[in-house]
C-alpha cells in the first residue's frame, strides 16, 4: 500500500489543523515536482514566508469548517520552500491546483486534511493567453468591448453611491467612410491604429481605453468629476486632430473625432444607462457639427 501511495504522480500532503506536515506521498516526477519529503514534521511556518503559511493555514481551516472537498489555485516556487532541493525539479514558479479534502480520523491528535497538489502550469498559461486574446482587439492590440464592459461593470458594482465618480467617453472618428472610400480599407485600418496609439498614450495608467468596434472607441476614467472628464475628452479630441497620417506617399491627412461623455452617479449606476447616455451625447456631438465633445447632462 505504501509503495502504491509513493508511486502517485502528484504529491499528496497530510497537513494538520495547526499547519504541520504530517506525511507526504507521491510526486515522483522530478521534471514536474520537487522532493518534498524533507518537510515532514515541520510546520508551514518553518518553511514558508508568514504570508504564504497564513494562506495555507486559512485554506486548511476553511476546508475543515466546510467539511467537503475544496479546490484552490496558487503559485509556489521551490525557492519559496526552505529545505527543498531546488536543483532537482522545475526552476520557475509552479502554478498548482490544490484539492483539499478533510480526513475523517485525526492525525497526531489533530484534525487534518489531505492536500493533493497538481502542477497545472501549462494549462494555466494557455488559459491566461486565451483570456488575454479574448479581451484584446485584434487590429489595434488595445482592450476590446468585452474587456471594457467587464471593467465598467466591476467598477460600477464597487462604486460608493455617495461618491460615484466614473466617467465613460465614447469616441467616433468623423466621416470615416470617406477615408475608406478614398484611400482603401488598409489605410482606414492604419488610421484606426494611429488613433488608438495617440489616445492610449494620453490617458492615465489606471484608466482604460478600448476599441468598441469599427471606428468607435471608449474610455473609462476613474475617480473623476464631469468637468474633469470633459477636459480629458477635449484633450483626446485635440490629440487626434493633431495626428498626421499618410494615406499615400507624400500625402498628409488628418481626422477628427466626436466624443460623448457620461458620468456615473447615484441615479446612473448601470453600465447600460452610462452607455446610452454617452451614445446620446455622441449623437449630439455628430449632429452639432462633429469634431466636438458633448457632456451627457447637456442633452438630458
Ligand X SMILES: Nc1nc2c(ncn2[C@@H]2O[C@H](COP(=O)(O)OP(=O)(O)OP(=O)(O)O)[C@@H](O)[C@H]2O)c(=O)[nH]1
**Residue 188 in the binding site for ligand X (CB under 6 A):** yes
Give the helix ranges, DSSP H, for 69-170: 121-134, 145-158
The C-alpha cell of 256 is what?
Answer: 477628427
**Residue 180 in the binding site for ligand X (CB under 6 A):** yes
Residue number, 154 or 189, with CB nearest to ligand X: 189
Strands 166-173 and 94-102: unpaired
* Pair 275, 170: CB distance under 8 Å: yes
**Residue 142 in the binding site for ligand X (CB under 6 A):** no
Residue number, 10 or 215, with CB nearest to ligand X: 215
**Residue 297 in the binding site for ligand X (CB under 6 A):** no
Q: Using CB under 6 A, pick the residue from 192, 255, 264, 274 that binds ligand X.
A: 192
CB of 124 to ligand X, least distance (A): 32
Angle at 202 between CA 195 and CA 285, to 5 degrees: 60
- Does the annotation mark 97 as catalytic? no
**Residue 30 in the binding site for ligand X (CB under 6 A):** no
**Residue 253 in the binding site for ligand X (CB under 6 A):** no
Can you tell me the distance from the alpha carbon of 94 to that of 117, in angstroms, rounded to the nearest whole number? 10
Residue number, 174 or 207, with CB nearest to ligand X: 174
The C-alpha cell of 27 is what?
Answer: 510526486
From 22-30, 35-43, 183-191, 247-255, give the range in contact with ligand X by CB under 6 A. 183-191
Q: Using CB under 6 A, pick the residue from 125, 127, 154, 189 that binds ligand X.
A: 189
**Residue 290 in the binding site for ligand X (CB under 6 A):** yes
- Smallest CA-to-CA distance from 269 within 168, 148, 144 is with 168
* Pair 168, 274: CB distance under 8 Å: yes
**Residue 137 in the binding site for ligand X (CB under 6 A):** no
β-strand partners of 263: 167
**Start-to-end Cα distance in the chain:** 75
Active-site residue, from 97, 110, 135, 215: 215
- Smallest CA-to-CA distance from 256 within 177, 149, 174, 190 is with 174
Q: Using CB under 6 A, pick the residue from 61, 286, 292, 297 that binds ligand X.
A: 286
**Residue 270 in the binding site for ligand X (CB under 6 A):** no
* Pair 247, 179: CB distance under 8 Å: yes
Residues 6+ apart with CB under 8 A from 24: 11, 12, 13, 14, 36, 37, 39, 40
From 6-14, 56-64, 116-124, 184-192, give the range in contact with ligand X by CB under 6 A. 184-192
From 6-14, 73-81, 173-181, 291-299, give the range in contact with ligand X by CB under 6 A. 173-181
| Nearest residue (beta carbon) to ligand X | 188
Residue ranges in contact with ligand X by CB under 6 A: 139, 172-177, 180, 185, 188-189, 192, 214-215, 286, 290
> What residues are annotated to the active site?
215
Amino acid at each position: 500500500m505504501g509503495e502504491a501511495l509513493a508511486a502517485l504522480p502528484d504529491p499528496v500532503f497530510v497537513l494538520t489543523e495547526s499547519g504541520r506536515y504530517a506525511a507526504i506521498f507521491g510526486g515522483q516526477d522530478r521534471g514536474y515536482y520537487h522532493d518534498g519529503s524533507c518537510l515532514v514534521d515541520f510546520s508551514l511556518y518553518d518553511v514558508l514566508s508568514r504570508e504564504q503559511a497564513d494562506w495555507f493555514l486559512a485554506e486548511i481551516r476553511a476546508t475543515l469548517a466546510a467539511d467537503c472537498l475544496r479546490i484552490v489555485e496558487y503559485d509556489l516556487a521551490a525557492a519559496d520552500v526552505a529545505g527543498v532541493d531546488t536543483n532537482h525539479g522545475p526552476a520557475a514558479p509552479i502554478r498548482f491546483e490544490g484539492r483539499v479534502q478533510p480526513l475523517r480520523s485525526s492525525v497526531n491528535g489533530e484534525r487534518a486534511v489531505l492536500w493533493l497538489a497538481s502542477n497545472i502550469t501549462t494549462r494555466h498559461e494557455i488559459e491566461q493567453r486565451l483570456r488575454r486574446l479574448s479581451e484584446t482587439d485584434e487590429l489595434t492590440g488595445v482592450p476590446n468591448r468585452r474587456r471594457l464592459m467587464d471593467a465598467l461593470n466591476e467598477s460600477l458594482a464597487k462604486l460608493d453611491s455617495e461618491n460615484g465618480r466614473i466617467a465613460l467617453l465614447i469616441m467616433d472618428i468623423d466621416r470615416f467612410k470617406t477615408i475608406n472610400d478614398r484611400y482603401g480599407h488598409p489605410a482606414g485600418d492604419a488610421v484606426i491604429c494611429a488613433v488608438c496609439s495617440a489616445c492610449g498614450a494620453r490617458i492615465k495608467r489606471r484608466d482604460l481605453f478600448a476599441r468598441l468596434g469599427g471606428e468607435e472607441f471608449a474610455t473609462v476614467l476613474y475617480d473623476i468629476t464631469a468637468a474633469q472628464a470633459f477636459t480629458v475628452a477635449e484633450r483626446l479630441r485635440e490629440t487626434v486632430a493633431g495626428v498626421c497620417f499618410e494615406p499615400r506617399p507624400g500625402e498628409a491627412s488628418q481626422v477628427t473625432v466626436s466624443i460623448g461623455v457620461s458620468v456615473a452617479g447615484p441615479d446612473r449606476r448601470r453600465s447600460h444607462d452610462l452607455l446610452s447616455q454617452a451614445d446620446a451625447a455622441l449623437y449630439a456631438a455628430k449632429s452639432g457639427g462633429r469634431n466636438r465633445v458633448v457632456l451627457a447632462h447637456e442633452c438630458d
